[in-house]
Structure 1
Amino acid sequence: MSQADNLIQRLFSRRAGSLLPLVLLGVLTGIIASLVMMSFLFLLNATLGGLNGKNLEDFEALTWHWQLGLPLAGSLLLILLYRLTPPACQSVGLAYVLERLQFGQGRIPAANIGFQFVAALIALGSGHSVGREGPTVHLGAGIASQIGQLSGRPPSQLRLLLGCGTAAAISAAFNTPLAGVLFAMEVVLMEYSLLGFAPIIAAAITASALTNGLLGTHAILEPVSLSLASYRELPGLLLTGLWVGLLAALFQRLVLVFIRLPLTSRAVRLLLAGAITGGLALVTPQILGSGYDTINLALSDGLPWPLLLGILAAKLLATAAAIGLGVPGGQIAPTLMLGVCAGSVAGALLPGASDPALYALLGMAAMMSAVLHAPLAAIATVLELSLSAEAMLPAMVVVLGANLLCQHGFHLPSLVITQLRVRGQELQTHPLRTALAQRYLSELADMSLVEWSGEGAPPRSKATALVVKRDQHYYLLNPAQLEQRMAPDTLDALLTPERRLQRLERDMSLLDALRTLQDDTGAGFLVPVRRGRGLVTRARLVHMLTEEGGLY
């Protein structure tokens, strides 16, 4: 172990319930995530500036040759990148982060972070209909995972640090610290905890402050001041939410259609995504890129609703193709653009005195919420991006309608969970099972044990547990109950199935451990830890699960 490893481990204790070290790690995560995100944004803006000039996303000004060929060129570069990169490094995005949280103990390899950085630059710089949010989450969570692994954090705290990285990256990239905190807890960690709030908030505000201090204010959306003209429009708002929820359900169905296309070659899938995007861009070039310029136009000057309806249809197809066919980009920015188009159309057609731009703003929150099942994060994102607090109540009404239709009308999970299900990975969403699935036996392991072969006199030790190996099996005995001179048949009589320990080759979640113990009468588990093997008995597991403060 290097001197840097030793220093970090001394600074950041693993002691349960120790909040200050986690807050300090959150601050460190915020600093590094901010620096990485600033580098990413600098390179992305330089690429877009070289193509579009000062208006970074003005793909509409390009000639038709560029509008058609740019996404195809991006697909070719992505194919080359995939060919030059080992397959183990190619898993990226928000879905991958959630998969590592539940099935990988929160460990994200450094190579995947580098691949995501380059792949996202290519996808976003070439005008594919994806956003920077998915790559942002991956980069932030990956940085936090590396910091947590370097400092020797247990799996549950490593998981919390991934939330810190998510909040820090979103806060740095979009100047939305509150939305970053809520997104980390609502979408990534899928729970709110008192222990988690302080480190995640520390990471978010550190990243936002450092980014603003070095780059200045970098708002993505132009601030707008919008309010509801009359509460008589509440039924119209609810209808708007249902309309957006219907489109969100259609969007998810389209993504599944493209995921399930019988095309096994990644190269063919990426080229098809580029061709679909480029072809649609010939008719509606507004669909290229994240679409923030179109969003700002809809919120300020307003656009004719027939044009917005056309953009909505084309963006829906292009984004579903990009995500379903595997373009390594995010899904939040496209859903915001889909929402602003859908909301604008509703605002233009529904009766009422409110500005149609208000409906556009509300549609953004509703679409993001319905697709990701993140109502609070969606409302906070829109309010922080627009600086329009007057839209709070109307946003809640529209989000309610959209979520009701998607979750309870069509029984659709979030798009991220759908993507994982297609891969055969079922995330735990029940609160109790989720908590158990995300904590591991190694966090409960007792290192005070001595191993004995069963031959000769039992070892004299102050250890509370004695592990005996006999015929490739391990048994748990109490050293105080053993005599120094014991006949072999007496020892054999003590080695009953009830004292048998399962020796694990890899760590196991508490949920899997409880399922194992249901069908096993043994005494517990021998768990691999950094310093060798640790012991988790059945009694210790039950005690930690039932005593207040047992889990942290």
Structure 2
Amino acid sequence: MPALPSSDDTQPPSSTAVPAWLRGIVRRRESGLVIMAALCGAIAGIAVFVISRSAQIAHELFFGLKAGDRLSGMESLPAALVLAVPVLGGLALGLFNLVLARSHARRPVDPIEANALHGGRMSLGGSLIVGAQTLISNACGASVGLEAAYSQLGSGFAARFGLAFRLRRADMRLMVGCGSAGAIAAAFGAPLTGAFYAFEIIIGSYAVGTLAPVAAAAITGTIVTHVLGLEPYQFAVGAAFQPHASGVATLCGLGLFCAGSAIAIMQGVALSETLFRRIRLPIGFMPAIGGLLLGLLALVTPQVLSSGHGALMKLLAEPPQPLLLLGGLILLKAFASAISLGSGFRGGLFFASLFLGALLGQFFLAGVSLVTLSPGLAPHAAALAGMAALAAAIVGGPLTMSFLVLEMTGDFQLTVAVLMAVIVATITVRETFGYSFATWRFHLRGEAIRSAHDVGWARDLTVARVMRTPVPTVERTMSLGAFRHAHALGSTHYVVAVDGPDGPYAGLVRVADAYQVNFEGQAGGLVDGLLTHRTDTLSPSMTLKDAARRIEACEAEALAVVDARKRVVGLLSEAHALRRYAEEADRARRDLAGEGV
């Protein structure tokens, strides 16, 4: 899809804002915020149910499955359908994207980007578009997960509520996290997983003040999907983990193996995108080409199709597969995901990374078993540890994935094993690569986002917002005597000189300098002789951080702010810039710690 400018809704029209008395309840009372979060979680749960059921119905209809059968869990499928459905789905998605590029001028903002850069503002319309694109992609068998659509829609509805209630920046960011928490909790029937997904990935921090709203959203989302009949994923592990030296060593090695695999997968998706961009065909045909390649892979095994729910359930319910078969399936699934995302299908790697991680866990254990008789880990335990480790390395939520295994199995001892592998994988990826899959794609797009931590305030804090206005000005041809008469010593530090009445910027005059010279003999006694920083200026659109750097580079105490025509619009001193930056940084820190909630 062609690159589009980002979308971050501003305040809604007054007709869509809720009554002032109701806004006051939510803005002033923590209990009001919790109730609003629970409502967002319920809506997210409904969205998850609708999308999940729609995708399953599409799979049954397009691929001829029986009711309840999972696409990736099938042993075989008709070759004609395997080849035709992804291609036709790719054509439909390409056409949808072309129409969208002409009618929708903005690129949808995802929850991480919204919280990092836009103070929690994101477009509900854009979120619905992402949901539709992801549903089309998954419905035709593309190797992408629906979790990205779940999170996008849950956060999009929550952001819309936040705008209607005119919430503060910190509360807007919290609501976006609550929407995602409700969605992920609903998708897996796992409230702890949903809550920590919000904390680690969408909000970017843990805080006591944010616990109640996020937990309320996660619990409500889980209850809604349970009532609607969406069954959670539950797995029984045959052997409990008993911590000892060989098992710990195996888990540490598995964590390192998953970290290297995660980096390779993320780099592979980026390479796939680059290669598809080099194909000289209209961009609307790219998903169809990807669909054809995906269909060829699916002729080998249908387990590469869709996100992999059925394949994962099958893997954990059956005896371990041979080493070579596991290795081949890992490569096929990784290629399928890279091709799907690289060619333009919409979705994420959340569930694909879970399935790939489970395969990697059993593959690694089978390899270790070739050189040692006691690896210290059962095959299914290794699969779940690998599942969590790879997903944590790619998605970026170590506790999220650890709690997911705990809520899937109810096995606390196994969760200890999982946490070991997750910690090793996460630390290794952070120190050697530095990105999760989402932030890696932001990096490729030119955005300096490493997490959902709020850095947007620094971009919003521009020179225009903090500069001093109005600015005392004088003409450069004014005599020093007249200048002294107009500006007493100590009345102000700097005066801006202009070239003629309402003329362009000419330079800065330090008032103290005018009282330290013999104005009778100084450059004919004119202000022009005292001018400094004649070419050094700031622009109103500069961020405060860039302005402070500019002032430092010019070795100045203050600089004038001028517009495109060099007309003076303000004055900014270094002391004021640093003070305002420190104030905003402290406010952001307090919001991060939950002190402002």
Distance of 1:146 and 1:98 partners within structure 2: 16
Q: What corresponds to 1:173 in structure 2?
A: 187
- Give TM-score, length-normalised by structure 2: 0.74
**2:439 match:** 417
What TM-score results when the alignment is normalised by the length of structure 1? 0.79
Q: Distance in 1 between matches of 2:308 and 2:353?
A: 10
Q: Match of 1:260, SS?
A: helix
Contact 1:9/1:151, CA 8 A, preserved across alignment: no
Structure 1 match to 2:141: 127
Match for residue 475 of structure 1?
none
User: Judging changes above 3 Å, is the alpha-carbon distance between structure 1 residues 77 and 89 closer, same or farther for their aligned structure 2 residues?
Assistant: farther
Q: Which runs of 5+ in 2 are unaligned?
A: 1-12, 474-484, 497-507, 509-537, 552-556, 562-575
Give the corresponding residue for 2:512: none
1:285-304 matched pairs, under 5 angstroms? 285-304=302-321
* 8 Å CA contact retained: 1:298, 1:344: no
**Matched residue, 1:530:** none
Aligned residues: 498
2:304/2:332 contact within 8 Å kept: yes
Q: Does 1:394 align with 2:412?
A: no
SS at match of 2:306: coil
Q: Hey, what's the Cα distance between the residues in 1 that align with 2:168 and 2:331?
A: 47
Match of 1:104 in 2: 118
Instruction: Say yes or no: does 1:22 pair with 2:36.
Output: no
**In structure 2, how many angstroms separate the alpha carbons of the residues matched to 1:42 and 1:171?**
16
Alpha carbons of structure 1 residues 436 and 194: separation in structure 2 relative to 1, 3 Å? farther
Residue of structure 1 equivalent to 2:503: none
Q: Percent identity?
A: 23
Equivalent in 51, 59, 66 of residue 48 of structure 1: 59
1:19 and 1:319, CA in 2 relative to 1: closer, same or farther beyond 3 A? Answer: same
Q: Which has the larger radius of gyration?
A: 2
Distance 2:142 2:154 in 1: 22
Q: 1:254/1:245 Cα in 2 relative to 1: closer, same or farther (>3 Å)?
A: same
Which secondary structure state, in structure 1, belongs to the residue aligned with residue 145 of structure 2? coil
Q: Does 2:367 correspond to 1:345?
A: no
The aligned amino acid for 1:278 is: G
- Asked whether 1:75 is paired with 2:126, we answer no
Structure 2 equivalent of residue 218 of structure 1:
231
Give runs of aligned pairs for residues 346-365 of structure 1, distance below 5 A.
346-349=364-367, 350=369, 351-352=373-374, 354-365=377-388
Deviation of 1:374 after TM superposition, in Å, equals 1.9
Query: Is 1:310 the counterpart of 2:328 in the alignment?
Result: yes
Distance 1:405 1:130 in 2: 25
Between the aligned partners of 2:403 and 2:171, the Cα distance in structure 1 is: 26
Map 1:8-407 onto structure 2 (within 5 A).
10-12=22-24, 18-50=29-61, 51=63, 52-53=65-66, 54-57=68-71, 58-86=73-101, 88=104, 91=107, 96-213=110-227, 215-216=228-229, 218-224=231-237, 226-229=239-242, 231=244, 232-261=246-275, 262-263=278-279, 265-305=282-322, 306-349=324-367, 350=369, 351-352=373-374, 354-407=377-430
Contact 2:250–2:377 (Cα < 8 Å) also in 1: no
- Could you tell me whether the CA contact under 8 Å between 2:117 and 2:454 is conserved in 1? no
For the residues of structure 2 that align with 1:49 and 1:28, how far apart are their CA atoms? Answer: 32
CA–CA distance in structure 2, aligned partners of residues 545 and 125 of structure 1: 45
CA pair 26-513 structure 1, distance change in 2 beyond 3 A = farther
1:479 corresponding residue in structure 2: none
Shift of 1:37: 2.0
Contact 2:76 2:301 in 1 (8 A): no
* Distance change in 2, residues 1:201/1:99 (3 Å): same
Distance change (3 Å), C-alpha of 1:498 and 1:154: farther
SS at the partner of 2:326?
helix
> How far did residue 550 of structure 1 move?
6.4
- Specify whether residues 550 and 374 from structure 1 end up closer, same or farther in structure 2 by C-alpha distance, changes over 3 A only: closer
SS of alignment partner, residue 17 of structure 2: helix
Q: Unmatched 5+ residue regions in structure 1? A: 447-465, 472-487, 526-536
CA contact (8 A) 2:94 2:285 kept: no
Q: SS at 2:206's partner residue?
A: coil
Is the Cα–Cα contact under 8 Å of residues 235 and 409 in structure 2 kept in the other structure? yes
After superposition, the C-alpha distances for 1:508-546 in whole angstroms (9 at most, x for unaligned) are 9xxx43443454567999xxxxxxxxxxx7666655655
State the Cα distance separating 1:196 from its structure 2 match: 2.0
Q: Structure 2 counterpart of 1:356, which letter? A: P
Aligned Cα RMSD in Å?
3.8
Tell me the amino acid that sits aligned with residue 219 of structure 1.
P
Q: 1:327 to 1:496 in 2, by over 3 A?
A: farther
Secondary structure of 1:85's match? helix
Residues 432-447 of structure 1 mapped to structure 2, 5 A cutoff:
434-435=453-454, 437-438=456-457
Q: Distance in 1 between matches of 2:589 and 2:77?
A: 60
